[in-house]
Structure 1
Amino acid sequence: MIYRFRVILDNDTEDDVFRDLEIRNTDTLEDLHNVITQSFGFDGAEMASFYMSDDQWNQGEEFSLFDLSDGLDDVRLMNETTLDSILDENQTKLIYVYDFFSMWTFFVELAEIVDEIEGVDYPNLMFVHGQIPEQAPEKSFEAEDEFDEFNDFGDDELDFDDYDQMGFDENWN
């Protein structure tokens, strides 16, 4: 079977940037990573991860390109995860992040599952729309309301330059 994906750049500009591509359902997330980087003109040399996503594009379980945990965490790797083991008609969405310094972020959606066509080489870039900008779109990360209490010290705001009022013993060691 062939999975057809639409890969959309998370872009705050007016221009949509996306690629439609086909890949075998038995290929790995690493294969999908390679096709995405090539179709958007990246060299593929940067760190990247896929994340499971729900219908509201909330980030879930991570699938990493490399295991950097030194055995401390249980890490799922792209090269060990086939597409059909995590995606189907009910679970269709992934978030893909390329280059953790620039944070190129893409929404990856399984649009269709079709039969393989004889004579077509897979993976297959089907359609290109828009040009990727020179720099990754800036992300704005806003704190949740529950964290606002940490930003508001109220009337008893601390003056960190006035050590005398903090009650430290200068000769504690």
Structure 2
Amino acid sequence: MIYRFRAILDATQDVFRDIEIEGNATLEDFHNVLTQSFQLPGDEMASFYSSDEDWNQNEEFSLFDMSDGTAPVRTMSATTVEEVVSTEKPQLIYIYDFLSMWTFLIELADVAGPKDGTAYPQVIFSIGELPDSAPDKEFEADPRFADETGGDEEYRGNIDDGDDDFYDEQSFDEYDLY
């Protein structure tokens, strides 16, 4: 089956590509089509994320496994398009270059049979050019972890409760760290 996607740069100006790719193609193949169609250099780290209808990032599919075996990581080369996208779960987020944070919202538009004589993947429609730099992002804390003052009490612990003896009560000697 052929999956038709619209990949939109998360920015105020209209910049998007409509791409057709085979369902059994890997996410790495999809990554390569995206970098070429948006004229990105292709030499930076990137990841896909499964997403819900509100564009919240879920499971990551990274270009390389950088986990050192500490946690299972799904890589783009070992994951096919049809494994992560369906008509029930039609959205992905693609982030290219984690320093610049080029962010693309990708949505499945259609699943159809292949057309005879057509080579896939292919870009079938293109609007706009990438700006010189990635659009600025505003990051928000997950409200499930914020207390009523806007802080994160669960992770703050006793540090900013005014207890001047906090560090004196710790069970480590700063000189024994090495």
Name the TM-score class by shorter chain: 0.7 to 0.9
Moved over 4 A (4+): none
Matched, 1:130 2:131: no
1:30 alignment partner, SS class? helix
Q: Cα deviations across residues 121-150 of structure 1 (Å, max 9, x unaligned)?
A: 111110110111010000111335525343
Q: Which runs of 5+ in 1 are unaligned?
A: 159-164
Identity of aligned residues (%): 52
Q: Which runs of 5+ in 2 are unaligned?
A: 153-159
Question: Structure 1-normalised TM-score?
Answer: 0.84
In structure 2, how many angstroms separate the alpha carbons of the residues matched to 1:35 and 1:91? Answer: 21
Report the RMSD for the aligned CA atoms in angstroms: 2.2
Q: Which residue of 2 aligns with 1:32?
A: 30
Alignment of 1:94-133 (within 5 A): 94-133=92-131
* AA matched with 1:9: L
Q: Cα deviations across residues 21-53 of structure 1 (Å, max 9, x unaligned)?
A: 100011010000000010000121100000000
Q: Which residue of 1 aligns with 2:7?
A: 7
Matched, 1:150 2:148: no
Question: Structure 2-normalised TM-score?
Answer: 0.82
Q: Which residue of 2 aligns with 1:161?
A: none
* AA matched with 1:90: E
Per-residue deviation, 1:93 = 0.5
In structure 2, how many angstroms separate the alpha carbons of the residues matched to 1:166 and 1:124? Answer: 63
Change (3 A) 1:98 1:166: same
Alignment of 1:156-171 (within 5 A): 166-167=164-165
In structure 2, how many angstroms separate the alpha carbons of the residues matched to 1:49 and 1:116? Answer: 27
Alignment of 1:13-92 (within 5 A): 13=12, 15-92=13-90
The structure with the largest alpha-carbon Rg is 1
1:4 alignment partner, SS class? strand
Per-residue deviation, 1:114 = 1.1
In structure 2, how many angstroms separate the alpha carbons of the residues matched to 1:139 and 1:149? Answer: 20
In structure 1, how many angstroms separate the alpha carbons of the residues matched to 2:127 and 2:62? Answer: 27
Instruction: Give the paired residue count.
Output: 160
Per-residue deviation, 1:157 = 8.3
Change (3 A) 1:166 1:96: same
Q: Which residue of 2 aligns with 1:162?
A: none
* AA matched with 1:150: G
* AA matched with 1:103: M
